[in-house]
Amino acid sequence: MDENDSPLTIDIPNVPKHLRITGSWVNSNRIGIYKKLAKGSSEKYDPTVYILRPDIILFSPQLRKLVNESNGVFLSIQKIKSVSGDVRPELLKHSKQYRSILRACIESLQDICGKCLSDKKESLENFLTIFYQIECVWHLIEILYVDVVPGDVILPQLLEWIRFHFPSRELVAVKILAQKTIGADLEYPNYWEAVIGCALHGKLDLVRALLALHSKADHPAFVMAENVLKTMPIYNVYGGYSIDGFTTCWKRWQLELCSNLNSKAFIVDTNLEMIMKLIAGEQDMLWQFSQYTDAWYELLAAKLFYTSPCCKQPELSLHANNISKRWQANRPSDNAIRAVMESNLHRVIKEIQYMGDNGWFAAHLVDLLYACGKLKILDRDQVEVSNQLHESLILEYGNTLMGHRSLWQCGASYLIHCPVQGLARLEILLQSLPMGSEARVNKILDIARDNKMDHIVTSICKIQGLKSMKQGRLGNALAWALKAQDSGFTTYIADQFLKRYAEYGELDCRDLLENLGFCMMASDRLTFLGKYCEFHQMYSIGEFKEAASLLVSLLVSNLTPKYFWSILLSDAIPLLEAKDVILSSSDCFELLRCVEAHGDDLKFQNKIEIFRLAVARNLARALSLEGCQVEH
């Protein structure tokens, strides 16, 4: 937008001229920089890699509350957007909530600032300035864009805004008034400053009360001043008369005041006379009093109050321009306020991005205005780009938060509400989050599942599974593999269980394996493992019949891995030799078939004779038993 923006430049220390540097992106918000030596240099090479990261003030613990609470308001606004009907009053409430979060943040910063040491103080004071200015601009935007001003006469709201943000002189006035000392002008050196301050803010009741405490309060000039102030017409939309009617009345009052000034009615006191000139709308006096104001818009409010009290929003721009130009106001907040008064939202958004708050203000404000239907931004070709702008600011903000260890969930909630790019970005960023504890991984998985990113769930579970494998936690690895629904990986882990059993004769994680349930179907190898485990379970509680039938079904299942045949066959021996006949003759034939097909394993060679003998003996017993049963 503005071609004159000069890019920020950052120095890398100790890089001599002949070095060449290279940078590449590291993560969502970091850049790695390293140096290359130019050819023919004889100097010693410095093999350092620098990793840079932008300083994000929102990551400071003091601002954590602001980030989290404003996230709540943002999410609540997203819900309103889908509600039909007049949502303006609701949105105004939300705007106020944002501001109260800002006020709370400012107050807590002031608290901490008072207590802390000087080295931290500087950055805290910087935060204070930033958020103070944001609140001030936000308040004005709320008045002009979010709130509905009755009759479109904006002065009352503007004065309120000014009084709210520049309370110091009114506080002095209240302090003086509280003492009720006659001759307050003699007692308090800042008496007149307080009177002028109140006059500039249009607090006429305070001005009158202060003048009544003046040592010459009984003098006709002061009595006349009191009368002038008391009779000054103040426009009120509910006052019962039209703007024209009011203007006639006000002009008449002003004319009378001018004639009194011309007849030198207030000459007894210079300050009094100056104040009366201000009230009569004299431009020069306004500028003389500018020393008693802290910002150009304070002066603007005074000018409107005494020269065009019925000013409507479209006329505001001209007045604002005149005053701010003469004031030479140039802070980002000055420019933003001027742009707000000029109804140039495009410029407002540009200016508030310079405020150093990492996009917090721009994202939340633009979202609010968008919800209000007030965001109409055209690009240079007069094409409306409000949707894109709205999304891009929220994307950036969400993106920024995703770069933080614990604020990433908050960041994700912003990305989810960006219809065009949000989910694609979330997908990339979710995968790049360092995993850490299981609780953290589950949080990442929850967000991925909620947004139907199944392949991310799969990939994260797989990574966790691999990690557990590396740590030798097979049970954990299996649980992750099942969550990943990756049958190849599940097979691999089931294999590891069986191999360990083959080597050490012990099954790990029995409780997990015995309770696999339906998950057992994830892979053939796991089915085998689960069933084999069940066989052990039955055997150990003495259910030999059950155990034997499981064993036979495993033998005929064709699921047995090659290295496991010798174990299965060996497991059959004690069952064959049991006191009761457990295995039927047909079971025995199966066993013989299996030992023919798979009994050639070296590990089984010393058992093969025993096995054949056991089968033969069992077959004999089984046949005679079965023969008897047939006879009966």
Partner 1 sequence: MVSVLNTVDTGHEDMIHDAEMDYYGLRLATCSSDNSVKIFDLKNGSQSLVADLKGHVGPVWQVTWAHPKFGNLLASCSYDRKVIIWKELGEWTKIYEHNGHDSSVNSVAWAPHEFGLILACGSSDGSVSILINNGDTWDTQKITNAHTIGCNAVSWCPAIEPSFDSSGTQKNGPIKRLATGGCDNLVKIWKEEGDRWIEEDKLEAHSDWVRDVAWAPAVGPSKAALASCSQDRRVIVWTSNDYTSWTPTILNVFDDVIWNVSWSLTGGILAVSGGDNKVSLWRENTEGQWTCISETNKGQGNLNNTDQRAL
Return the residues of window 426-465 that contact partner 1 according to CB under 8 A: 428-429, 431-435, 455, 459, 462-463
CA 71 to each of CA 4, 78, 101, 263, 412: distance values in angstroms, whole numbers, following the listed order: 34, 11, 11, 62, 11
Give the binding range for partner 1 (CB under 8 A) out of 210-218, 425-433, 557-565, 619-627. Answer: 425-433
| Residues 314-353, interacting with partner 1 (CB under 8 A) | 346, 349-350, 353
- Closest contact distance (angstroms) between CB of 473 and partner 1 is 15
Q: Which is nearer to partner 1, 49 or 630 (CB)?
A: 49
Among 316, 362, 569, 622, binds partner 1 (CB under 8 A): 362
CA distance 248 to 371: 40
| Residues 494-553, interacting with partner 1 (CB under 8 A) | none
The alpha-helical segments, DSSP class H, found in 180-295 are 184-187, 191-200, 204-212, 220-231, 243-262, 270-279, 283-288
- Closest contact distance (angstroms) between CB of 532 and partner 1 is 25
Contact 507, 513 (CB under 8 A): yes
DSSP 522: G
| Residues 36-75, interacting with partner 1 (CB under 8 A) | 36-37, 45, 47-55
Angle (nearest 5°) at CA 25 between 20 and 28:
155
CA distance 296 to 95: 25
- Closest contact distance (angstroms) between CB of 146 and partner 1 is 21
- Closest contact distance (angstroms) between CB of 239 and partner 1 is 42
Q: Is residue 170 at the binding interface for partner 1, with CB under 8 A as the rule?
A: no
Contact 209, 222 (CB under 8 A): no
Q: Is residue 287 at the binding interface for partner 1, with CB under 8 A as the rule?
A: no
Q: Is residue 21 at the binding interface for partner 1, with CB under 8 A as the rule?
A: yes
Q: Is residue 307 at the binding interface for partner 1, with CB under 8 A as the rule?
A: no
Among 205, 315, 379, 454, binds partner 1 (CB under 8 A): 379
- Closest contact distance (angstroms) between CB of 403 and partner 1 is 10
239 contact partners, CB below 8 Å, separation of at least 6: 246
- Closest contact distance (angstroms) between CB of 29 and partner 1 is 8
Q: Is residue 424 at the binding interface for partner 1, with CB under 8 A as the rule?
A: yes
Cα 11 from chain centroid (whole Å): 30
Q: Which is nearer to partner 1, 11 or 244 (CB)?
A: 11
Q: Is residue 356 at the binding interface for partner 1, with CB under 8 A as the rule?
A: yes
Q: Give the interface size with partner 1 as a residue count (CB under 8 A).
A: 75
Q: Which is nearer to partner 1, 28 or 618 (CB)?
A: 28
DSSP 31: E
Q: Is residue 308 at the binding interface for partner 1, with CB under 8 A as the rule?
A: no
Q: Is residue 471 at the binding interface for partner 1, with CB under 8 A as the rule?
A: no
Nearest CA-CA partner of 411 in 81, 30, 71: 71
Q: Which is nearer to partner 1, 53 or 230 (CB)?
A: 53
Among 22, 84, 328, 606, binds partner 1 (CB under 8 A): 22
Q: Which is nearer to partner 1, 213 or 418 (CB)?
A: 418
CA distance 344 to 536: 78
- Closest contact distance (angstroms) between CB of 464 and partner 1 is 10
Q: Which is nearer to partner 1, 418 or 555 (CB)?
A: 418
- Helix/strand/coil (H, E, C) string of 442-480? HHHHHHHHHCCCHHHHHHHHHHHHHHHHHCCCHHHHHHH
- Closest contact distance (angstroms) between CB of 243 and partner 1 is 38
| Stretch (H or E) spanning 177 | helix 168-179
Q: Is residue 12 at the binding interface for partner 1, with CB under 8 A as the rule?
A: yes
Joined tokens for residue 201: 């803010």
The alpha-helical segments, DSSP class H, found in 342-473 are 345-352, 360-372, 386-402, 408-416, 422-432, 438-450, 454-470
Q: Which is nearer to partner 1, 262 or 382 (CB)?
A: 382
Q: With 0-12 CB in 10 A as exposed, 13-18 as middle and 19+ as buried, what is 111?
A: exposed
**Which residue matches tokens 């409306």?**
384
Give the binding range for partner 1 (CB under 8 A) out of 16-24, 161-169, 216-224, 521-529. Answer: 16-24
Q: Is residue 26 at the binding interface for partner 1, with CB under 8 A as the rule?
A: yes
CA distance 117 to 597: 83
Q: Which is nearer to partner 1, 417 or 545 (CB)?
A: 417
Q: Which is nearer to partner 1, 277 or 425 (CB)?
A: 425
**Which residue matches tokens 């019949």?**
545
Among 232, 372, 466, 509, binds partner 1 (CB under 8 A): 466
CA 238 to each of CA 151, 474, 593: distance values in angstroms, whole numbers, following the listed order: 9, 77, 103
| Residues 549-608, interacting with partner 1 (CB under 8 A) | none
370 contact partners, CB below 8 Å, separation of at least 6: 386, 390
| Residues 387-416, interacting with partner 1 (CB under 8 A) | 388-389, 392-393, 396, 399
Contact 235, 310 (CB under 8 A): yes
Q: Which is nearer to partner 1, 412 or 551 (CB)?
A: 412
Q: Is residue 364 at the binding interface for partner 1, with CB under 8 A as the rule?
A: no
Q: Is residue 179 at the binding interface for partner 1, with CB under 8 A as the rule?
A: no
Joined tokens for residue 401: 């938060």
Q: Which is nearer to partner 1, 154 or 430 (CB)?
A: 430
Q: Is residue 4 at the binding interface for partner 1, with CB under 8 A as the rule?
A: no
Give the binding range for partner 1 (CB under 8 A) out of 6-14, 158-166, 580-588, 604-612. Answer: 6-14
